[in-house]
Structure 1
């Protein structure tokens, strides 16, 4: 309750500050008009009046905006009676009414919300959100603890004015985003915004400790602390699962047929690794800007709470659902938009993803091979011709710029090994074996593991190339099976690592989005105002892969070398393989997201002299 009340007071104070500044600006305009000229006063005061007017826009939008419910699968009492009975009993123990709705959500999180009216004076529909990964990984006791914590927010009336706190953050954030970087009025508003967040976050931390006490009353301190310690373990497992098992296949145009079921199987199969994570002390450095207390502070509060006796239920939390597989499949249909991706069972999905990763790297090599030799259809066969001619070092030095040609050719064996794996897969003599407990394995049809490392070492020298070719033939590997698919580098699968507004590129006003695979140049306006906002709107308008098709995209692999002539502000030239020169010049009035300038200089330094793979 304190948090929301404080939010109301602080929000009102924000507009009091706006009114004071409005009065000051009007006085300044009148003074300037009387002392100089009316046009001078208006010219000087208009930017300040616009900044103050931004508060009105921010307030209007905030008042009209309601927090949207989290997207998930609604679980009915008929569909999961034991889950609903458990939540109902917990609500009675905590001293609050049962939520009107339970939703499974695709996050490592649990939360509650309430639709209220008249600034929270009238309660409304309540929703309890349960992350599917939590249900799959926690015990019933631990899930009871987590749910009791969330219901404690209801009994503490934390959700009644939660929408007010939400609107307060929205209004202040919206106002700040509309004030130009160099507008002096913005300094006062930004200072007040920091004060608002300090007060609101401090209240949020107190609410979390109150909810923890409710959790201990219901589940006991040991279970409550074990659930709290388990959350970062589940979070790490979820990130590992998505990054190692899902992401590459998803980017390549595939989707698993049982997304959430896969996580459950991985969590069960990686017990030893997860146990090591549980033994690690959490590295937390909480500050006054955090919305949650540290784990150490929370466990200290739990230890001092009363320790009521309660029945132990160590069953997996999935026991509360009639069928966790059916729930996972239904949730997948509800929240995942697979688009035109091909849906595959996990073994086939893993195999398709692994092969797609190989092809991306192979295409990168083959594009360079085609550029070097002029071969219109470069592939492994053309690479063998290059080796036979004793020219592998010319290609290899592009990928190993710190080595001479002979050493680079020898080190190319690792990349050659990868190409042999691709050729074996494409030849139908090698297969990927899916595993939840370890990495994917390459085997033959009988299940025996395959290794082409020694053959690859033979293939990088003209003297032993024919021996390598013969040994590949013994394995049924067709050299011509590995060829190029993506002849032009794209931004597919790229991530944004930096963004800068108001540069000049070849003399034209340009915004730069730096991807982990190349430079994206977007035509910009002459005005240097609202550069950050323009970049944020650009990045939220479409995936970077689509943006790279609309605007000029220069992949790193097309950069032969770079020359940095000035570092502050940055000034450099990109020298492309086709002989083109691209001039980049940062302006003093430019804006950036985060530390983008430092990132740009690091990339230019890395590309300097010789490009890397």
Structure 2
């Protein structure tokens, strides 16, 4: 089936979605007329209310979709005066694929490129065209690879793939809004869900065909080798970007710090990790896809590219950044446009890494210090109190919390790794060492001369009473003061935690209605209404707006470290009692009628079993 015909069918189906809503509205109107013509009283009123509620959800979703408009375009506008060679390339490629050049080029903070068009009269009249280019691609691709990407995107214009984008946007929004509002009890919802399933099937097939057409435009204009090369490089750049955001920026960002050059840092990492990225390039591209995917599998796209007719093309292996003069300045300008630092402290990269790693080390130590305070009976503890437990032969009691499945002797031996972190913190706080930034390897501790330091042997000495004094002596020789390592956060927080699941509408302590959020470091209990309706939607909306750390700070938070043991009274539905170290108890009861969110109830049972078993040794 030709792509144009597929697209036309997709648009007709979008119109059908609206028509289906009008038909259902008319049907309800007729039913209400018949009810009140032939019946009266409470029964007629109840039936009328059910019909109105059912069709009301549909009408509300459609009305919001009709009134909605796509958001404002994002990114940094790049003018022809700022990047003449980039614009020259884009205009030349547009002419080669047989389409009008875009009116705007925008840089965006994504490993992606895209096009859009503001059209009128259901796409019959063209409007402003925008080309979006991911900054990471400009930093890592060659000119040949970038030409291939640009030709692909412009191919969407030449195939008129963007003409109906506004219509498609409204159609997708209509389905999302409507299907989100109707429940399983709603017969009108059943019809819309079936229709939505069919539309997604057709529209995904259309999108995949359009991608293959745009790929052929890329091959024709930029050449097979450039097209294949860019397709194979995209997953590599994407993996590097995710690694960069997670390992270099993510930790410090959550802790309240930010680097002063977000995009410039990625460029440096990409060059420094060349060997690791080369290994990624050796991997075969994925050949897996789903009927719901808007893009074919990369392996299938590459196969289609290689099967296309070949035409000779001049090779341009220069870095794509030559198309964008002063690419570093452009990265900083994009950062000002799209990055919201909030109240974070913005630091140069070296200071950002040092500050972030110091706080990571402190947070890990605080977890130990809080337990040490409980074992020693003091309000706030530090390394000195931990050494006191070692000296008294009680380190095994503390170590058992961190290595619950080990014997007492094994737990003490394993605790040497934890002790090393505590000594590192003391060394940093004493001003004797600092965390050194590196793009090619993890940050490491170095002394004042920049030489790596290692406290492994001292940590091993520090976990045994008979060698503790030797550990103290060696620390003193290096200028490390034990008393500098003390607790900062005396209460557990959700910093660094991840949301793993949620259980709407549980009962807490026998009566309080709440939603239970399952974090990787504890449980968050949020207030909930007595009714169990739409609990999944309420929790999903909550989780979509805040981080795990914010949830823990805003609502009642029970960290795993505060739980002494667990009593599981019933497996299905789950009924359990958490016994805390301070003597309090928290009862949690799952309700039969509560909404389900995936397999969160199974996960909750696993968490409870683990918490119980860690103390039953």
Counterpart contact for 2:21–2:59, Cα < 8 Å: no
State the secondary structure of the residue aligned to 1:195.
helix
What residue number does 1:540 align with?
Answer: 544
C-alpha displacement at 1:87, in angstroms?
0.8
Q: Kindly report which structure 2 residues correspond to 1:122-201, keeping only aligned pairs within 5 A, or say none.
A: 122-201=125-204
* Aligned equivalent of 1:460, options 463, 467, 489: 463
* Aligned equivalent of 1:281, options 272, 275, 284: 284
1:384 pairs with 2:387: yes
What residue number does 2:416 align with?
Answer: 413
What residue number does 2:222 align with?
Answer: 219
Counterpart contact for 1:139–1:317, Cα < 8 Å: yes
* Aligned equivalent of 1:556, options 553, 560, 566: 560
Q: Kindly report which structure 2 residues correspond to 1:470-489, keeping only aligned pairs within 5 A, or say none.
A: 470-489=473-492
C-alpha displacement at 1:66, in angstroms?
2.1
C-alpha displacement at 1:35, in angstroms?
8.6
User: 1 CA distance for matches of 2:530 and 2:58?
Assistant: 26
Counterpart contact for 2:139–2:321, Cα < 8 Å: yes
User: 2 CA distance for matches of 1:40 and 1:611?
Assistant: 58
For residues 163-217 of structure 1, what are the alpha-carbon distances to aligned partners after superposition, in whole Å with 9 as ceiling and x for unaligned?
1111111101100111134334322221221111111111111110111011001
User: 2 CA distance for matches of 1:2 and 1:459?
Assistant: 75
User: 1 CA distance for matches of 2:9 and 2:599?
Assistant: 33
1:567 pairs with 2:571: yes
Counterpart contact for 1:3–1:204, Cα < 8 Å: no
For residues 282-324 of structure 1, what are the alpha-carbon distances to aligned partners after superposition, in whole Å with 9 as ceiling and x for unaligned?
3442121111111122112111222122211100001111111
Which stretch of the first structure deviates more once superposed, 211-220 or 521-530?
521-530
State the secondary structure of the residue aligned to 1:484.
coil
Q: What is the alpha-carbon root mean square deviation over aligned residues?
A: 2.0
The TM-score, its normalising length taken from structure 2, stands at 0.95
What residue number does 2:605 align with?
Answer: 601
Which stretch of the first structure deviates more once superposed, 478-487 or 510-519?
510-519
What residue number does 2:592 align with?
Answer: 588
For residues 397-438 of structure 1, what are the alpha-carbon distances to aligned partners after superposition, in whole Å with 9 as ceiling and x for unaligned?
011111232321121101001111111111111122211111
C-alpha displacement at 1:10, in angstroms?
1.5
**1:490/1:581 Cα in 2 relative to 1: closer, same or farther (>3 Å)?**
same
Counterpart contact for 2:370–2:380, Cα < 8 Å: no
1:254 pairs with 2:257: yes
Q: Kindly report which structure 2 residues correspond to 1:179-328, keeping only aligned pairs within 5 A, or say none.
A: 179-328=182-331
Which stretch of the first structure deviates more once superposed, 44-53 or 196-205?
44-53
User: 2 CA distance for matches of 1:57 and 1:381?
Assistant: 63
* Aligned equivalent of 1:525, options 506, 526, 529: 529
User: 2 CA distance for matches of 1:583 and 1:5?
Assistant: 57
1:82 pairs with 2:82: no
Counterpart contact for 2:58–2:182, Cα < 8 Å: no
C-alpha displacement at 1:494, in angstroms?
2.8
What residue number does 1:118 align with?
Answer: 121
**1:549/1:523 Cα in 2 relative to 1: closer, same or farther (>3 Å)?**
same
**1:214/1:611 Cα in 2 relative to 1: closer, same or farther (>3 Å)?**
farther
C-alpha displacement at 1:13, in angstroms?
2.4
Which stretch of the first structure deviates more once superposed, 16-25 or 49-58?
16-25
User: 2 CA distance for matches of 1:539 and 1:434?
Assistant: 33
1:96 pairs with 2:93: no
User: 2 CA distance for matches of 1:255 and 1:611?
Assistant: 40
The TM-score, its normalising length taken from structure 1, stands at 0.96
User: 2 CA distance for matches of 1:583 and 1:184?
Assistant: 38
Structure 2 unaligned segments of length 5 or more: list them: none
Which stretch of the first structure deviates more once superposed, 68-77 or 35-44?
35-44
User: 2 CA distance for matches of 1:37 and 1:579?
Assistant: 60
C-alpha displacement at 1:59, in angstroms?
2.0
User: 2 CA distance for matches of 1:47 and 1:569?
Assistant: 30
C-alpha displacement at 1:598, in angstroms?
2.4
C-alpha displacement at 1:2, in angstroms?
4.6
C-alpha displacement at 1:589, in angstroms?
2.0
Q: Kindly report which structure 2 residues correspond to 1:336-415, keeping only aligned pairs within 5 A, or say none.
A: 336-415=339-418
Q: Kindly report which structure 2 residues correspond to 1:43-58, keeping only aligned pairs within 5 A, or say none.
A: 43-58=46-61
What residue number does 1:448 align with?
Answer: 451
C-alpha displacement at 1:586, in angstroms?
1.5
C-alpha displacement at 1:31, in angstroms?
7.3
Counterpart contact for 1:30–1:41, Cα < 8 Å: no
C-alpha displacement at 1:22, in angstroms?
4.6
**1:383/1:543 Cα in 2 relative to 1: closer, same or farther (>3 Å)?**
same
Which stretch of the first structure deviates more once superposed, 581-590 or 23-32?
23-32
User: 1 CA distance for matches of 2:50 and 2:396?
Assistant: 61
C-alpha displacement at 1:565, in angstroms?
2.7
In the comparison of the two structures, how many residue pairs are matched? 612
State the secondary structure of the residue aligned to 1:135.
helix
User: 2 CA distance for matches of 1:603 and 1:36?
Assistant: 55
State the secondary structure of the residue aligned to 1:572.
strand
What residue number does 2:332 align with?
Answer: 329
What residue number does 1:509 align with?
Answer: 513
C-alpha displacement at 1:567, in angstroms?
2.8
Counterpart contact for 1:141–1:314, Cα < 8 Å: yes
C-alpha displacement at 1:605, in angstroms?
2.1
Q: Kindly report which structure 2 residues correspond to 1:429-448, keeping only aligned pairs within 5 A, or say none.
A: 429-448=432-451
C-alpha displacement at 1:45, in angstroms?
4.6
**1:511/1:48 Cα in 2 relative to 1: closer, same or farther (>3 Å)?**
farther
C-alpha displacement at 1:80, in angstroms?
1.0
User: 2 CA distance for matches of 1:235 and 1:192?
Assistant: 34
User: 2 CA distance for matches of 1:30 and 1:68?
Assistant: 41
